Amino acid sequence: MRNLQRLSLLFIATLAATQASAQELNPADTAWILTATALVLFMTIPGLSLFYSGLVRAKNVLSVLMQCFALTCLMSLLWFAIGYTIAFGSDGVEQGPFIGDFGNVFFAAMSMDSLTGSIPSTLFAIFQMTFAIITPALIVGGFAERMRFSAMLLFSAIWLLVVYAPICHWVWGGGWLGSMGLQDFAGGTVVHITAAVAALVAAMMMGPRRGFGTVAMPPHNLTLTVAGAGMLWVGWFGFNAGSAVAADNSAAMAMLVTHLSASAGSLAWMAMEWIRHGKPSVLGIVTGMVAGLGTITPASGSVGPAAAVVIGLSAGVICYFATNWIKNTLKIDDSLDVFPVHGVGGILGTLLAGVFCSTQLGIFSGNGFSDGIDSIAGQLTVQATGVVATFAYTAVVTWVILKVVDVVVGLRVDADEETQGLDLVLHDERGYDL
């Protein structure tokens, strides 16, 4: 009888433990973040790879594809080794304001049963890994067609660990900006401003491509670019809606506002070109889409549908003028317009999130201010602090990294190699057999 009682108690305890575990691990949330992770990886390979490769000249198409592919591999391993723990540390450990603890080196504090919220910790880690992949890949557009492959790998590796991972911690990992109440739902500061500022610094340090401003450098294959743009649009749903880290109302709203902003940004950029040049361009409409997506990213968890349309329209117009100003007035050869699209968009979206999160704007109302903040002015102050801190830190540290890399391996190919094209010079291959 006593043994039977023990067996009964053991069965009840096991059943209770199973039920508790089931309550902690949400299958719907897990399924959605599994999907979102695949979507964000889809943004880089093949999305961003094709988008960028179509924009460069034919002699450099493989170099861009190679850079995006290699970065996917390298950033994944670095994130596993040490990047994740710098950004997020380990569960149950109080995190400092600037970097995480080092308890998760090589994912040491994770097991198959570990949970982050309602999803497996391993899933959260790989979801964040896809963000760490696409951010350095975005920078490629700033120095396309002129940086050495070895320099690109060394720069990106150092940059991930000393720029991206710490700023990720500041905002999402329990650091000082998140504690202040910065609203950056999916990466206006963490992804877009960091990548864009790094691209701008690289473009300025390396100087323009040979013939910039005097020789036409049109995209060699807009078909590839449009295909990549479509993949970016679809993948961005994982980027923004996945940042809810749950299959809930927040994810649904983030998906809706993401789509609306992309649509508005596309049409706004197209309209600007149509008015100024008499014809709408394919390049313009897809660039406007990226501007709309990048600008809504920080605000996607803060604003409603009507505000998203305003944000998208603003992105299309402001990023259009920023692109022309940087290329034509400042004469900076940011090859694929990373800063005017992602940087200006990220700054604009981060600031507008502080306005349209207000619940007192009627149809344009959002989801409310951060805890302890009770006015648009207060929220804007925090948002501006995040923008300035991210911009300044990224600019200074990126400059230092580039100087070091230039000393170690040299940043730029020589003039003859650039004329010949990076495909042949660096990879001994051609993108096209013409």
Average pLDDT (209-218) is 92
For residue 425, the model assigns a pLDDT of 96
The C-alpha atoms of residue 252 and residue 235 are separated, in whole angstroms, by 15
For residue 92, the model assigns a pLDDT of 80
Spatial CB neighbours of 226, under 8 Å, sequence gap ≥ 6: 54, 282, 286
The C-alpha atoms of residue 341 and residue 318 are separated, in whole angstroms, by 9
| Tokens at 220, concatenated | 């060699």
For the segment 362-376, what is each residue's pLDDT rounded down to a tens digit?
999 999 999 999 999
For residue 434, the model assigns a pLDDT of 64
Q: Is residue 134 part of a domain?
A: yes
The per-residue pLDDT of the chain, averaged, comes to 94
Q: Is residue 389 part of a domain?
A: yes
Q: Is residue 213 part of a domain?
A: yes
For residue 6, the model assigns a pLDDT of 39
Q: Is residue 365 part of a domain?
A: yes
CB 408 within 8 A of CB 46: no
Average pLDDT (51-64) is 97
Average pLDDT (255-274) is 98
Q: Is residue 26 part of a domain?
A: no
- Residue 13, pLDDT > 50, answer no
Average pLDDT (12-33) is 65
For residue 7, the model assigns a pLDDT of 33
For residue 93, the model assigns a pLDDT of 87
Among candidate residues 76, 87, 85, 127, the one with its CA nearest the CA of residue 108: 85
Query: Given pLDDT bands bounded at 50, 70 and 90, which one contains residue 4?
Result: very low
Show the CA angle centred on residue 96, arms to residues 93 and 101, nearest 5°.
50
Count structural domains, the chain. 1
Amino acid in position 42: F
Residue ranges making up the domain that contains 128: 36-108+118-427
Which comes out higher in pLDDT, residue 19 or 228?
Answer: 228
The C-alpha atoms of residue 374 and residue 358 are separated, in whole angstroms, by 9
The C-alpha atoms of residue 283 and residue 95 are separated, in whole angstroms, by 44
For residue 433, the model assigns a pLDDT of 80
Phi, psi (rounded to 5 degrees) for 201 = -60, -45
The C-alpha atoms of residue 302 and residue 264 are separated, in whole angstroms, by 18
CATH number for the domain spanning 45: value is 1.10.3430.10
Q: Is residue 75 part of a domain?
A: yes
pTM of the predicted structure, to 2 decimals: 0.93
For the segment 313-363, what is each residue's pLDDT rounded down to a tens digit?
999 999 999 999 999 999 999 999 999 999 999 999 999 999 999 999 999
SS3 of 223-237: the string is HHHHHHHHHHHHHHH
- Residue 16, pLDDT > 80, answer no
For the segment 87-97, what is each residue's pLDDT rounded down to a tens digit?
999 988 889 99
For the segment 377-395, what is each residue's pLDDT rounded down to a tens digit?
999 999 999 999 999 999 9
The C-alpha atoms of residue 53 and residue 44 are separated, in whole angstroms, by 12
Q: Is residue 366 part of a domain?
A: yes
In percent, the amount of the chain with pLDDT more than 70 equals: 94
- Burial readout 393-421 (b: 16 or more C-beta within 10 A, e: otherwise): bbbebbeebbeebbeeeebbbeeeebeeb
- 212 dihedral zone (left: phi>0; alpha: psi -120 to 50; beta): beta
Average pLDDT (407-411) is 97
For residue 11, the model assigns a pLDDT of 35
- Residue 17, pLDDT > 60, answer no
Q: Is residue 260 part of a domain?
A: yes
For the segment 150-185, what is each residue's pLDDT rounded down to a tens digit?
999 999 999 999 999 999 999 999 999 999 999 999
The C-alpha atoms of residue 137 and residue 49 are separated, in whole angstroms, by 9
